[in-house]
């Protein structure tokens, strides 16, 4: 079978690998589409994602749709359309029973955070535990289903913010996660969704997904203390500073974008006088099931996919995904 393999910074090869064989409790999938995530861009262009250094040939990818190729138990018929929850959880932790994604010792598809690395989904065939498989409902295309994982990330971020129904919200950063956050906020009943970005093209996409108002952050700043809910989705430290200024007294800032693993300069003083909260969010727990349901309910979310490029043209695909003026979510076709 063919796989996309990262050997180092800007060194990705479409090469032959052995077909994996499922063990007891596992299923082999025929991968159809894999979304390119920000972490995948870091692995390709930098050879690392934060502290996670590529130390061996590494298959990226954790956003996927597929069909069942082989289930030794016979539980899933060949050809069944599916997506995958990419996490395997570690040992349970007292007090975190409902948050298994925070248990230490787990791993995630397409992550170099463990060694040997957890190889990812950008391969023609993939073996995963049966419990990770989610059968797709009728009517949900495999292309749109590849959005289930990033949409789950955005839904989880909205859940971290708490009850947003009837409240205005600000989204900073209209990349794929920011765009999906707009959809998640809209379906959670947010009264107004304002989106800021440094480029006009992502803002046009945000409007199509339900943003009430958009603005270029290079030309306009929101009034201080004007939003009870702020989702920072750009991962730019300066944007976190803007989020802290924009949050209302008693409000909540959710840091969704993965900040650099470094000391950063952000003025947090406004949080104190406003008694506002800054909350982190990390991946998701069960929200992938909610994401699948939402993708069926709202087909317009599928418009976040802007390009589908053959995996053999990975260099072009990664360059396209890196350019926010040209793309939102780019899918690799296997």
State the total domains in the chain. Answer: 2
Looking at the structure, tell me whether residues 195 and 311 fall in a common domain. no
State the pLDDT at residue 264. Answer: 87
Looking at the structure, tell me whether residues 302 and 248 fall in a common domain. no
Q: How far is CA 18 from the centre of its chain?
A: 28
Expressed as residue numbers, the domain containing 33 is 2-146+298-333
Q: Token pair 């004007």 is at which residue? A: 226
Establish if 289 belongs to a structural domain.
no
Extract the tokens encoding 57: 């040939």
State the pLDDT at residue 275. Answer: 97
State the pLDDT at residue 166. Answer: 97
State the pLDDT at residue 92. Answer: 95
- 242-297 confidence digits (pLDDT tens): 999 999 999 999 999 988 778 888 999 999 999 999 999 999 999 999 999 999 99
State the pLDDT at residue 262. Answer: 80
Q: Is 166 exposed, middle or buried (0-12, 13-18, 19+ CB in 10 A)?
A: exposed
Q: Which residues of the chain have pLDDT under 50?
A: none
State the pLDDT at residue 308. Answer: 98
- 285-298 confidence digits (pLDDT tens): 999 999 999 999 99
Q: Where are the beta strands (DSSP E) in the chain?
A: 2-8, 11-16, 26-35, 48-49, 52-53, 63-70, 81-84, 87-88, 107-108, 125-129, 133-135, 168-172, 192-197, 213-216, 227-232, 247-255, 277-280, 305-310, 329-333
State the pLDDT at residue 259. Answer: 84
State the pLDDT at residue 284. Answer: 96
Looking at the structure, tell me whether residues 176 and 142 fall in a common domain. no
Looking at the structure, tell me whether residues 11 and 142 fall in a common domain. yes
- Round to the nearest angstrom and report the end-to-end CA distance of the chain: 10
Looking at the structure, tell me whether residues 270 and 318 fall in a common domain. no
């Amino acid at each position: 079978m063919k796989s996309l393999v990262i050997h180092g910074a800007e060194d990705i090869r479409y090469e032959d690998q052995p077909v994996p064989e499922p063990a007891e409790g596992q299923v082999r999938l025929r991968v159809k589409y894999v979304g390119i995530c920000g972490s995948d861009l870091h692995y390709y262009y930098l050879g690392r994602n934060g502290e996670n250094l590529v130390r061996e040939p590494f298959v990226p990818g954790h956003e996927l749709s597929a069909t069942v190729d082989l289930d030794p138990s016979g539980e899933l018929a060949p050809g069944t359309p599916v997506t995958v929850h990419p996490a395997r959880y570690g040992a349970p932790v007292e007090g975190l029973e409902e948050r298994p994604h925070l248990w230490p010792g787990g791993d995630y598809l397409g992550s170099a955070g463990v060694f040997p690395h957890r190889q990812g989904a950008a391969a023609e065939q993939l073996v995963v535990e049966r419990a990770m498989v989610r059968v797709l409902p009728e009517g949900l295309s495999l292309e749109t289903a590849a959005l289930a994982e990033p949409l789950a990330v955005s839904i989880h971020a909205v859940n971290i913010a708490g009850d947003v129904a009837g409240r205005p919200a600000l989204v900073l950063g209209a990349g794929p996660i920011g765009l999906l956050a707009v959809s998640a906020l809209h379906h959670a009943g947010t009264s107004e969704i304002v989106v800021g970005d440094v480029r006009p093209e992502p803002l046009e996409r945000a409007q199509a997904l339900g943003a009430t108002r958009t603005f270029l952050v290079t030309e306009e700043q929101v009034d201080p203390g004007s939003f009870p809910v702020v989702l920072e989705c750009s991962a730019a430290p300066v944007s976190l500073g803007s989020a802290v200024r924009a949050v209302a007294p008693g409000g909540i800032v959710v840091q969704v974008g993965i900040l650099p693993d470094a000391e950063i300069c952000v003025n947090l003083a406004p949080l104190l006088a406003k008694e506002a909260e800054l909350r982190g969010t990390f991946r998701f727990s069960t929200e992938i099931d909610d994401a699948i349901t939402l993708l069926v309910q709202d087909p317009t979310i599928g418009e976040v996919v802007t390009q589908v490029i053959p995996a053999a043209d990975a260099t072009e695909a990664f360059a396209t995904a890196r350019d926010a003026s040209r793309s939102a979510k780019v899918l690799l076709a296997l």
